[in-house]
C-alpha cells in the first residue's frame, strides 16, 4: 500500500523555504559558539520565531530561547533543538567551515566547531516553527519551540528548568527532539524505551611527591601511578561487567608534568562512563573509585585521590505509546526504507530532563546525515567505523536531503498531536 503524506498542508511551503534555511545553516556552521555562550545563535533563533508570529522569551537558562505559538484549543507540543558547539578545530574543508576561536570555561582560547550537528538542529526547528506559523489552518493547539543551550555540558536543559521553564510556559502533552547521526542521509532511526545511554564524566586528581628526574627514589611518581590506574581501569568492562550487560569507560585526558627531567607532584585523569542500566552504572562508578584509591595506596601516595564529578547525563527513554504515534506519522510521510528501528546508542543527551521533569511522554529520534552512497560503500566494505562520527573534526552532514528530512520529521511528529 502506498504511503500517504502526513501533514501535506503544513509542508507545502517547504520547497520555497529551503534556500533560506540553507543560508541559515551555513551561517550557523561558520559561527559556532561554545556552551552557555550561544548569544548570536540564540538571537537568530529568537528573530526567526518573532518573524513567524511566536511569543518569544530569550535568556531562559542564560542563553535559551522559548517560542510559544497558540492556535486554538488542542494539545501542546514541545519541539527542542540544542545550540552549542564544541572546542574542536574543523578539518572538513567546507567553504563555510568554521575558523572561530573562543575562550572556554577554564580560560583557554580554543578552536570552535559544530562537530555534533547542533547547527542543523537549530535550522530544523527554525524551519518547522516557520511552517507552523505559516499554515495555521492545518493544525490546532499550542506549539512550544525550545532552543536549548549547553547540551555538551549536560547543563543547558537543567539551566532552563531552574530558570522557570516548567512554571513560565505551557505544559506540553509530549516533548519531541531529534539528532543528526552517522547513517544514510534522510533515514530516520527510532526505538521505544532506552534510546541513549547515561553518561558520567569524572576527574581523578592523583597526588605524589615531586623530585629530580635523576633521583626517582626521592619521589612518589604520580605519572607511574596514573599510568597504572589507566591500565587497571580498562579491566572494569572486560572483567567486571557481564557479557549480557553494556558499559564504556574511556580515559579522555591524562595530564602530568611539564619537563622531562622533573617528576611532578600531581597527575590528572579525566574519564567518561556510558551505561544503560542504573545497577551497572553504580558498579562501574564504585569500581573506578576503588581502583583509583588502591593504585594510590600501592604507590605510597601521601593522600588519597580527589574524585570530582564533572558532567552527568541521564539516559533518554522514549515513551512506547508516544513513540509508536510518532513512527506512524513518519510512516505516512516517508517511504518504508527511510523509517527504521535502531539499537540504543552509547551517546548521551540531556533531552530526557524535559519529559522526566514535566512528567510527560517524550520521544527522541535520529536522522542520518551521511552521503547515502558513501554510507553504502562503507557498509559493504565493513568500514563503517572509518566514517567521521559526531565530535570528529571532519564530521559534516550532507546538507541535502538531511536538511529537508529533519524539518519534515519535526513537522510530521508534532502534527501527530496537533491535527485539526
Domains and CATH numbers, the chain: 8-197+315-415 (3.40.630.10), 198-312 (3.30.70.360)
Q: Phi/psi at 222 (nearest 5 deg)?
A: -75, -20
Q: Is 359 annotated as a binding residue?
A: no
Count CA within 13 A, CB hemisphere, residue 376. 5
Q: Is 353 annotated as a binding residue?
A: no
- Write out pLDDT tens, residues 16-74: 999 999 999 999 999 999 999 999 999 999 999 999 999 999 999 999 999 999 999 99
User: Beta-carbon neighbour count of residue 66 at 10 Å?
Assistant: 26
Whether the ω angle into residue 401 lies within 30 degrees of 0, i.e. cis, is yes
Dist CA 320 CA 19 (whole Å): 36
Q: Is 116 annotated as a binding residue?
A: yes
Q: Phi/psi at 3 (nearest 5 deg)?
A: -75, 145
- Write out pLDDT tens, residues 373-416: 999 999 999 999 999 999 999 999 999 999 999 999 999 999 99
Q: Is 179 annotated as a binding residue?
A: yes
Residue-by-residue DSSP string for 37-49:
--HHHHHHHHHHH
Q: What is the value of pTM for the model shown?
A: 0.90
Closest CA to 267 of 221, 315, 334: 221
Closest CA to 10 of 415, 333, 409: 415
Query: Where does residue 354 rank: exposed (0-12), middle (13-18), buried (19+ CB within 10 A)?
Result: buried
Distances (CA, A) of 34 to 84, 98, 204, 405: 5, 13, 24, 26
Helix, strand, or coil here: 66?
Answer: strand
Nine-digit cell string for 313: 547525563
- Write out pLDDT tens, residues 315-337: 999 999 999 999 999 999 999 99
Amino acid at each position: 500500500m502506498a504511503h500517504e503524506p502526513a501533514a501535506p498542508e503544513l509542508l507545502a511551503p517547504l520547497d520555497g523555504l529551503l534556500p533560506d534555511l540553507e543560508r541559515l545553516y551555513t551561517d550557523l556552521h561558520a559561527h559556532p559558539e561554545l556552551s552557555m555562550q550561544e548569544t548570536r545563535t540564540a538571537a537568530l533563533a529568537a528573530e526567526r520565531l518573532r518573524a513567524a508570529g511566536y511569543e518569544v522569551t530569550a535568556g531562559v537558562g542564560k542563553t535559551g530561547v522559548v517560542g510559544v505559538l497558540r492556535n486554538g484549543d488542542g494539545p501542546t507540543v514541545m519541539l527542542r533543538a540544542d545550540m552549542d558547539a564544541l572546542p574542536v578545530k574543523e578539518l572538513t574543508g567546507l567553504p563555510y567551515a568554521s575558523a572561530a576561536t573562543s575562550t572556554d570555561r577554564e580560560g583557554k582560547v580554543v578552536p570552535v566547531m559544530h562537530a555534533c550537528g547542533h547547527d542543523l538542529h537549530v535550522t530544523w526547528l527554525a524551519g518547522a516553527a516557520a511552517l507552523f506559523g505559516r499554515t495555521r489552518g492545518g493544525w490546532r493547539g499550542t506549539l512550544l519551540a525550545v532552543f536549548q543551550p549547553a547540551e555538551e555540558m549536560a547543563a543547558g536543559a537543567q539551566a532552563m528548568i531552574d530558570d522557570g521553564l516548567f512554571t513560565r510556559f505551557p505544559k506540553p502533552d509530549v516533548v519531541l527532539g531529534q539528532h543528526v547521526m552517522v547513517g544514510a542521509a534522510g533515514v530516520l532511526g527510532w526505538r521505544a524505551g532506552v534510546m541513549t545511554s547515561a553518561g558520567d564524566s569524572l576527574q581523578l586528581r592523583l597526588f605524589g611527591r615531586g623530585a629530580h628526574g635523576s633521583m626517582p627514589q626521592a619521589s612518589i611518581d604520580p605519572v607511574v601511578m596514573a599510568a597504572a590506574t589507566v591500565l587497571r581501569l580498562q579491566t572494569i568492562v572486560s572483567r567486571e561487567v557481564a557479557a549480557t550487560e553494556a558499559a564504556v569507560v574511556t580515559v579522555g585526558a591524562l595530564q602530568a608534568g611539564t619537563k622531562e627531567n622533573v617528576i611532578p607532584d600531581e597527575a590528572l585523569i579525566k574519564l567518561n562512563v556510558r551505561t544503560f542500566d542504573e545497577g551497572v552504572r553504580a558498579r562501574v562508578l564504585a569500581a573506578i573509585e576503588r581502583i583509583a584509591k588502591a593504585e594510590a595506596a600501592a604507590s605510597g601516595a601521601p593522600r588519597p585521590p580527589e574524585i570530582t564529578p564533572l558532567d552527568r547525563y541521564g539516559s533518554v527513554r522514549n515513551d512506547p505509546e508516544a513513540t509508536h504515534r510518532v513512527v506512524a506519522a513518519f510512516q505516512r510521510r516517508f517511504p518504508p526504507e527511510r523509517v527504521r528501528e535502531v539499537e540504543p546508542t552509547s551517546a548521551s543527551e540531556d533531552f530526557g530532563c524535559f519529559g522526566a521533569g514535566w512528567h510527560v511522554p517524550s520521544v527522541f529520534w535520529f536522522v542520518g546525515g551521511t552521503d547515502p552512497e558513501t554510507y553504502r560503500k562503507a557498509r559493504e566494505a565493513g568500514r563503517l567505523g572509518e566514517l567521521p562520527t559526531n565530535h570528529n573534526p571532519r564530521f559534516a552532514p550532507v546538507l541535502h536531503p538531511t536538511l529537508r528530512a529533519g524539518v519534515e520529521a519535526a513537522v510530521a511528529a508534532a502534527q501527530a498531536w496537533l491535527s485539526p
